[in-house]
Amino acid sequence: MPLPLAPIAATALRMGAVAVVVYAIRSLREPLHRDQRAEDAMDELGEGLAFRRDAEQVNGGARLKRTIRVGESGPGVEIDASALGRVRFRRV
């Protein structure tokens, strides 16, 4: 029984075109730099959610740090997600 190559070829061409577009966009983009001050600020955040309010602005921060393992002592992944935010109100 012959294998129908036309549907497979069309799908392969479509996936190849998407791969070429993704590669072109990725190569044109400049690499991002890592700001060490921001990294240090996120490392100093405490676990949980915190807000602080001043007269002109509200600051907030959140951090979630978890370790997920396969089995009791199996391989694992540590997830460390943190966010900083600020909302400022001014009369103009």
Q: Give yes or no for residue 82 having a pLDDT over 90.
A: yes
At 12-63, the pLDDT tens digits run 999 999 999 999 988 888 877 889 999 999 999 889 999 999 888 899 999 9
Kindly give the residue spans of alpha helices, DSSP state H, lying in 29-72.
36-43
CA distance 73 to 56: 49
**Which residues are within 8 A (CB) of 66 and not within 5 positions of it... i.e. 6 or more apart?**
78, 79
Domain ranges of the chain: 5-88
